[in-house]
Each structure stands twice: as structure tokens, then as C-alpha cells.
Amino acid sequence: MRQTANARHSAIAHAKTRGEVRGGGRKPWRQKGTGRARFGSIRNPIWRGGGVTFGPTNERNYSKNMTKKARRIALFSCLSVKAGDNQVFALDKFELKEPKAKEFVQMMSKLPVDRSLLVVLGEKDEITEKSANNLPNVKTILVNYLNPYDLLKYEKVMFLESALKKAEELFLK
């Protein structure tokens, strides 16, 4: 998946080539007259202590590109699959006076949520975010950052009413 590949850091594995191994500046023996094969360095990959020929390098880039149109189609298809399975629902409003995970859990117990929940917010709401922050299998996300990975990872998706309005503005132009 594009999102997990782009979250990946650069490669760690690295083997030294013959140019990176220390030593081997002098020619081990002269070019002709010895009866042996010609060699220019003792750090040749054939030799013990030499560099590795086709080893891994830490210059590898794992990032992947995808057009905006394709990302949008992927997002809509994930949403339509979730909606078809009755895993998307909306809540008109949910307000807390202070961040309390206990109250958030009580609200979740009244909803049709079995395992995991993705809460989509219209605008930044620190109280709701902090209430859900410490709960396993619950994630809050702004509607601008909605992505196929999170939609597929969580079983149920809950939109707040403000998020639905903002989603219509963003995606249904």
C-alpha cells in the first residue's frame, strides 16, 4: 500500500563495495611476468576482506507515487464498501466538557461498535481527541486526512455531523 510504503524509512542494510572497504591502494603484484592472474587491488570482491559485489545499499527509496484522481477513487471505493456493509454511521453531536475516556467508552457502548472505531472529526477538537487517545482500537482523524488505510483498518467509521458537511464540501465539488 502506498501509505505504508511512504511511512517506511530508508533502508538500513548496507554492505560495503570495493570502493568503500579500507585499504587496497597498492597493486598486490606487478601486471606481467609472475604467472598469476592480474589484480589491481586486494579489496576486489573475489578476495577475502574485499567488498561485496551486489550487496544491499542504504540508498534505496521505498516511496510510491499515486495520482490525486486515483487516491480519490480509492477513498470513495473504501467508503462505499464500508457503507454497503453498514459499517458507517453518523452522530449529530458529541460534546464533552472535559477529556474523559470513561464518558467516551459509555458513548461507544450505546453505539453499534464491536471491535474498533474510526472517529472522523470536522475540525480540531482536543477534548474528543484526548478522550479517545488512550483507548485501544479507537482513532480520531480529521476529515481532511481521511485515507483508505485507516478506513480498512478500523471496523466501524463514525462521522460527526460537522465532518459530514465538510466532507461534502471537500469531496463533492
| Mean pLDDT per 10-residue section of the chain, whose length is 173 residues | 86 91 92 93 93 91 91 93 93 87 90 92 91 92 94 93 89 78
pLDDT at 66: 93
**Please, which contacts does 121-130 make with residues 24 or more away whose CB atoms are closer than 8 Å?**
121/160, 121/162, 121/163, 122/160, 122/161, 122/162, 122/163, 122/164, 122/165, 122/166, 123/162, 123/166, 126/99, 127/96, 127/97, 127/98, 127/99, 128/94, 128/96, 128/99, 128/104, 130/99
pLDDT at 62: 86
Task: Say how far apart CA 156 and CA 110 lie, in whole Å.
Answer: 14
Q: Which domains, ranges and CATH numbers included, belong to the chain?
A: 1-65 (no CATH), 68-171 (3.40.1370.10)
pTM: 0.75
Name the nearest CA neighbour of 11 among 61, 47, 78, 49: 61
List phi, psi (to 5°) of 46.
-70, -30
pLDDT at 12: 87
